Amino acid sequence: MPPEADPNTHRSDADRALLERARGLAGERAARSLRLSGAAALWLRAGDDPALMVLARPGDPVLDRFDGTVADGGDGLRLLVGGTTPGNAAALRAELPNLRPVPLGLATSAGFGDRLGLATPGHALALERTGAAGMVAPVFAQQSIREMTRTRRAPQEVVDDATWGAFAAGWRLPVGADADHQKTADDVRACLAAGFTLFTVDPGEHVDDAAERADAAELRARLERLPWRELEDDWEGLKRRLLGAPLDLGDRELAISEEELTRAAVKYGAAIAHTLSLYRVLAASGAPFELELSVDETAYPTTLPEHAYVAAELRRLGVAVVSLAPRFVGRFEKGVDFRPDATGDLATLAATLEGHTAIARSMGPYKLSLHSGSDKFSVYPLIAAATGGLVHLKTAGTSYLEALRVAAVHAPDLFRQVLAIGHERFEVDRKSYLIGARLEAVPRPGDLRDADLPGLLDDDGARQVLHVTFGSALDAVGAELKRLLRERDAAHEEGLARHFARHLEPFVPYAAQPPRPG
């Protein structure tokens, strides 16, 4: 990892002695988390009983900033042992400001959704090994409201778990935090209070998919029902702005027909109004934030005229977006690679990615955001090249599957329980996810020898069944799974690092440098 200044340089003899003492106390595995703040050393005691450790001279005010018990630390020093509590997480972010999430701007970035709150060290390791650290800006804290509900995690826990994970990994660069798939003003307020800085607004419930097929009379009726007052607009004004001349997209022009504009406005008009209302909640908060607009979970691919309409409207209304997630052509199912369908194959995708990029560059600029981005290995080279690095990659469930891989190898009985729950719950839990798996093709726990269990994590059908039933599995055996991952933290990190290297490598040659802390 690109280090901050070597903590050993420009230090007094007394500081060097304190660091040496801290290294000795921390031990080899925890020493990577060791950071100096003022004249104090901080690290995370790893393993199954994690704790915040602070070594300082007697009377150092840092000892008052954390909750914990203070005892003799040897060499005339004091040692504080504190819990990984919300209060200590907040104090740690104040002490080590790079751990406090910030807006990441247009830097190439990647989101690492982590349902268990234990995957950040593995994600950090993947960034370091691929040379992506310092190139691809990480969003370690990222969870949708849907997933917070299913994992019973509060927004603050999501942010705090990522704080502890980044601290454990010795992460010294900026981090973002993505409140994903925000649907209501209440979602936004709860996540603002927790310190999220990227707000992914999902106005999908306000997207009118009927626009795709409606006839002229029906379109006309729906057009009249749009919330024109909230949009501060009317149909004549919209036509004047977007139909007068082809749009100049830099490397190309885009001419929009009246019918295309009508369908675009009917499909996305109310969604724009809803996005505007959430943007106003964010802007009124005074907190630093950036906004992503996601329409990836809608019924039909986003066409170029539709994207251009959305971009133009956002700009007219003063809604600055840092990234936008269209619904791309083809199938982006959870936890498996891209699949072609009637809407397009990889070649169609590559061509439309260039068009979407031209819009994002010339009408933003903002990044294209790739949702359901886990395991889309055939798409990464295409989107990295098409966007030239003006891209955000969003992953989530694939990290949970790597956690299950640890169970499949080291705790076969636990894994069999998770698989049995997957069979029981799949048909209910799959709702609201895009999934192609057929349950009957997935082996049952009794059909498999222990040695065959890890192989299920490489089977598309089994991956999807396990992927969508996480909430039910965690309700039943979440505590056991987390205990296992703490005991086997090295195996867990190694698996994540290997898996995420494949996600990150294609982006590194195109990655734009993220802003450095001042």
Using alpha carbons, select from 463, 483, 449 the residue that is nearest to residue 419.
463
Task: Write phi, then psi, for 85 (nearest 5 degrees).
Answer: -95, 165
Residue 84 or 298 with smaller CB distance to Zn ion: 298
CB closer to Zn ion out of 98 and 142: 142
Distance CA 497, CA 503 (A): 10
Closest residue to Zn ion, judged by C-beta, is: 371
User: Which 97-136 positions form the footprint of Zn ion (CB under 5 A)?
Assistant: none
DSSP state of 79: E
Q: Mapping DSSP to helix (H, G, I), strand (E, B) and coil, where does residue 141 land?
A: strand
Q: Using CB under 5 A, which residues numbered 332 to 351 contact Zn ion?
A: none
CB of 465 to Zn ion, least distance (A): 20
Question: Is residue 327 involved in binding Zn ion (CB under 5 A)?
Answer: no
Nearer to Zn ion, 123 or 371 (CB): 371
- Closer residue to Zn ion, CB minimum distance, 349 or 407: 349
Catalytic position from the list 147, 161, 260, 292: 292
**Least distance between Zn ion and beta carbon 323 (Å):** 12
Provide, rounded to whole angstroms, the least separation between the CB of residue 220 and Zn ion: 32
Complex with Zn ion: residue 296 or 333, whichever CB lies closer: 296
CA distances from 238 to 421, 446, 464 (A): 52, 61, 43
Give least dist CB 104 to Zn ion, A: 18
Of 27, 7, 6, 33, the C-alpha closest to 171 is: 33
Q: Write out the H or E segment, with its range, that includes residue 55.
A: strand 51-56
Task: Say whether 292 is catalytic.
Answer: yes
Name 183's Cβ contacts closer than 8 Å, sequence gap at least 6: 145, 202, 203, 204, 205
Stretch that binds Zn ion, among 12-20, 171-179, 291-299, 358-366 (CB under 5 A): 291-299
Q: How far is the CB of 179 from Zn ion (least distance, A)?
A: 12
Tokens encoding 400? 């949970």
Q: How far apart are CA 507 and CA 509, in angstroms?
A: 6
Tell whether residue 296 is a contact of Zn ion (CB under 5 A): yes
Select from 6-14, 158-166, 364-372, 426-434 the region that touches Zn ion (CB under 5 A): 364-372
Pick between residue 361 and residue 392 the one whose CB is nearest to Zn ion: 392
Cβ at position 296, least distance to Zn ion in Å: 5
C-beta of 21 vs 371, nearer to Zn ion: 371
Nearest approach, Cβ of residue 422 and Zn ion (Å) = 22
- How many residues line the site for Zn ion (CB under 5 A)? 2
Rule CB under 5 A: is residue 65 a binding residue for Zn ion? no
8 A C-beta contact, residue 21 and residue 75 = yes
Query: Does 405 interact with Zn ion (rule: CB under 5 A)?
Result: no
Per-residue interface string for the shown chain with Zn ion, residues 250-289, x marking contact by CB under 5 A = ----------------------------------------
Q: Give whichever of 144 and 303 is closer to Zn ion, judged by the CB atom.
A: 144
Q: How far is the CB of 180 from Zn ion (least distance, A)?
A: 7
Task: Tell me the window of 69-77, 292-300, 307-315, 444-452 that interacts with Zn ion (CB under 5 A).
Answer: 292-300
Work out how close the CB of 53 gets to Zn ion at its nearest, in angstroms, rounded to a whole number. Answer: 38
Residues 497 and 416 sit within 8 Å (Cβ to Cβ): no
- For Zn ion, the closer of residues 371 and 425 by Cβ is 371
81 phi and psi, to 5 degrees? -115, 115
E strand or H helix at 379? none
Contact segment (CB under 5 A) with Zn ion among 189-197, 213-221, 224-232, 294-302 equals 294-302
Q: Which range touches Zn ion (CB under 5 A), out of 17-25, 122-130, 368-376, 460-468?
A: 368-376
Which range in 159-167, 367-375, 398-406, 409-417 contacts Zn ion by CB under 5 A? 367-375
3-class secondary-structure state, position 42 = strand
Q: Judged by CB, which is closer to Zn ion: 182, or 357?
A: 182
| Cα–Cα distance, 120 to 117 (Å, whole number) | 7
In 3D space, the residue among 93, 289, 272 whose CA is nearest the CA of residue 191 turns out to be: 289
Catalytic one of 95, 128, 161, 180 = 180
Dist CA 333 CA 434 (whole Å): 5
- Least Cα distance to 254 among 326, 357, 344 occurs for 357
CB 510 within 8 A of CB 392: no
Plot region of 146 (φ>0 → left; ψ -120 to 50 → alpha; else → beta): alpha
User: Which of 35, 371, 463, 499 is the binder for Zn ion (CB under 5 A)?
Assistant: 371
- Verify whether residue 180 is a known catalytic residue: yes
Q: Whole-number minimum distance, CB 141 to Zn ion, in Å?
A: 16
Residue that the structure tokens 């294209």 belong to = 368
Residue 119 CA to residue 116 CA, distance in Å, equals: 7
DSSP per residue over 236-304, as a string? HHHHHHHHSS-EE-SSSEE---HHHHHHHHHHHHHHHHHHHHHHHHHHHH-S--EEEEE-TTSSSPPPH
Distance of alpha carbon 161 from alpha carbon 127, whole angstroms: 18
**Contact positions toward Zn ion, by CB under 5 A?**
296, 371
Which residues are annotated as catalytic?
180, 292
